[in-house]
Structure 1
Amino acid sequence: MEPPIYDGRIHPNEYIKKMRTYCNFRQITNEQEILKFAIMNIDSTIDIPKNITSFDALINALKGHISFNIFKNSCKRKLELLKYVTEREGGDTANFVTEFRKLCHDAEITNLVEQKKCLFNAVPYNFLKNNFTNEQRNVTSMNDLVKVFEESVLEDSRIIRNGSIVALRHIVTGKYLSSCNKNYPGDRSFSSFFAILFGSSNMVYCDDFGPNALWSMNSSTESINSAIDYGEPIQLRHEIFSKFFYTDMGKKSPTSNHFRVCCYEKERKDHWIIGNYHHQSDDGNVKSQDIITLQWKQSEVNKNILLRSHEFKFKIKNEDNEDYQEVVAHDQRTGGNDQWCIELIGYRDT
């Protein structure tokens, strides 16, 4: 373990702390010996008075030297340039908070209002700024400030964005919206009008969570990674088969005879609208773990058509003979079977 050296690139208090740690490691316990050793390890370019007899006097002498002003002002400039980057974009919240607190300490910014200004300036996202602005008013310490910041970061990390990979869990049955490379019972790849226009289809059902339950959520009105809001038109595309999730109103579901839902190869102009099941007037950001409804919007169809699943099952005869939990679109009254929990799985690389 090498002894610390003071050359103006560390806060004097931190230098004394490191020196005490070193002396303790070397079993040097006499205060005057530690003080003498601390004075000896100050760089020769930093002049201090000869008659220093205490650590307080040493710290004051180091703070009175021009090198400390340069160090402190440098830390202030670094604070002004410090910017928060989310983990989603390759950042590290823990490293950011550590650097922020260290720079505030080294720049001797102890006023809470000034600390708030510095942290607010480092936050680049409107959502974080708005949320952080509201919550930071009640903080009384640096620890409170960091806690509020972390809570804002957590809320931001829950936002579903354009291009997000999501899973949709049916609330009543606990199963996930899924698709596989199979056709519905008695169906053929190009047996419907939609199949002719939009390519071969895959059936949709609910199952346990797995690769077949992964969907990308996309909005044509937003740039990539922009937040998706309630009431916004979106497309769902299956991650494995790269097919788009639609309602085929010309076909009946295999068990309950509602409208059939399928995945087709080609994109079409029709879309889904996300609604908040518990707050229908909500127009804010869609967030992971929200309970939502999915409303189908199709040109020239003026009906309230919702995505639903239930306990009804169907089989594909002469294949695997497994039971598949039916998923449908319907125009009946909204009910508990129309509830879905949206779960954020990840983000696209581009």
Structure 2
Amino acid sequence: MSFLSFPEYNGSCHPEDWLCNFKFVAAFLGRAPSESELVNLALLKISRSIYNDKNIQISKFSQLIEFLKADSSFKIFKLCSEQKLLALRFTYLTQVQDFTIELRQLLSDIEIFDLKLQKQFILKILPTKLFPDTYSLKIAESLTINDVFINLLNFLLQYKRVVKYGSVITLRHIDTGKLLSSSLERYTGGSQQYWAYAVDRRATDYESWTVMPEVLQNEIPPEYGGNKEKGSPVYYGDKITLMNNGTGQKLHSHLGFESPITSQQEVTCQTFNDGNDNWNVQHYIYDVDSKDKEPWNECHDIFLFHSSNNLGLNSHNFMLNDKYQEVTCFGDKKVNTTKWRADILYDFVSNQ
């Protein structure tokens, strides 16, 4: 290795990072010059567009850094780094480690070391709109930079918890805390199809549901494919079907049949495969269309409305018996009883 092994400085990185690398190469080469000798060597590796006045006296590392930071190239570097920081985006596909490394590097490049400013920049670039305020509040209220990045890590990991086609989930009714369920018992009145209800117990197969594409043609089961292949995210605005893993039946509703207790629209499970198996997934608070490509996250409250009449999947404290709580189609997402939240039991991962 020789003089050519030393890194050059042209304003494309932070001066302190360049000098650190320069010192490392000198140590690796076994050189032990004085500080002034190493500075003179470093000056030879600076672009002549930055250092071209040989009358400038620089003999210490501190003077070298001060000189480089005073040059317009450093101001340009900081401005470009800030633009990169503000353009930084995190999606469910982004690698958490890569994102945090780049984030910390850019904060360092623009010399944002103040805790309050760091939190402001971080919160500005995070996709917090659809998330509960508790996640951003934990970052905002962090007392140390270490706490900031621990809470940031929790946010990013949760953001990646996206419901996909092929995922196995439970659906918890927010107002009562019970899980959407089914069984092989049939209603004695109404459509006489299989029961759908909410129950308070630890999840079994009867409380787990596989997320599938919508039924496109009557009597033909839903098929994975295209942008609804197994492992693809479910976006808000997508139509889906939900298959109960205990019975193999699909969550279903239809006009013309009333629920047994409150006479709202009946919700059942059945295997006929028709358009009444289809449900539209919506964020409970924000109006998000499928073209917005916002994925369904398990920490979001959601609203499932029936594709044929836009009534919401609903439950309430009215009981079918001493264990099972009635589930119906009723109202819209302004009604608290139509609010649900998923919990991913099995997160389908594509082999591709």
Normalised by the length of structure 1, the TM-score is 0.55
For the pair 1:38 / 2:39, whether they are aligned, the reply is: no
Tell me the equivalent position of 2:168. 166
Alignment of 1:61-80 (within 5 A): 61-80=67-86
Offset at residue 76 of structure 1 (A): 1.6
- Name the CA distance, whole Å, in 2 between partners of 1:332 and 1:178: 14
Offset at residue 111 of structure 1 (A): 2.2
For the pair 1:84 / 2:89, whether they are aligned, the reply is: yes
Residue from 254, 264, 268 that aligns with 2:272 = 264
For the pair 1:103 / 2:111, whether they are aligned, the reply is: no
For the pair 1:9 / 2:12, whether they are aligned, the reply is: yes
For the pair 1:345 / 2:346, whether they are aligned, the reply is: yes
Identity %: 20
Aligned positions, number: 256
* Closer, same or farther: CA 168–31 of 1 in aligned 2, 3 Å: same
Q: Secondary structure in 1 aligned to 2:212?
A: strand
Give yes or no for contact 1:167–1:344 (8 Å, CA) kept in 2: yes
Tell me the equivalent position of 2:154. 151
- Give the letter aligned to residue 34 of structure 1: L
* Closer, same or farther: CA 284–112 of 1 in aligned 2, 3 Å: same
* Closer, same or farther: CA 207–78 of 1 in aligned 2, 3 Å: closer
**Cα RMSD over matched residues?**
5.2
- Name the CA distance, whole Å, in 2 between partners of 1:305 and 1:133: 30
- Give the letter aligned to residue 274 of structure 2: K
Offset at residue 36 of structure 1 (A): 2.5
Normalised by the length of structure 2, the TM-score is 0.55
Offset at residue 62 of structure 1 (A): 0.8
- Give the letter aligned to residue 322 of structure 2: R
- Name the CA distance, whole Å, in 1 between partners of 2:8 and 2:122: 31
Tell me the equivalent position of 2:235. 225
Provide runs of 4+ in structure 1 moved above 4 Å: 246-249, 269-272, 283-290
Offset at residue 120 of structure 1 (A): 1.5
Give yes or no for contact 2:128–2:136 (8 Å, CA) kept in 1: no
Give yes or no for contact 2:9–2:45 (8 Å, CA) kept in 1: yes
Give yes or no for contact 1:243–1:266 (8 Å, CA) kept in 2: no
Offset at residue 7 of structure 1 (A): 0.7
- Name the CA distance, whole Å, in 2 between partners of 1:102 and 1:70: 16
Give yes or no for contact 2:252–2:270 (8 Å, CA) kept in 1: yes
Q: Secondary structure in 2 aligned to 1:264?
A: coil
- Name the CA distance, whole Å, in 2 between partners of 1:102 and 1:7: 18
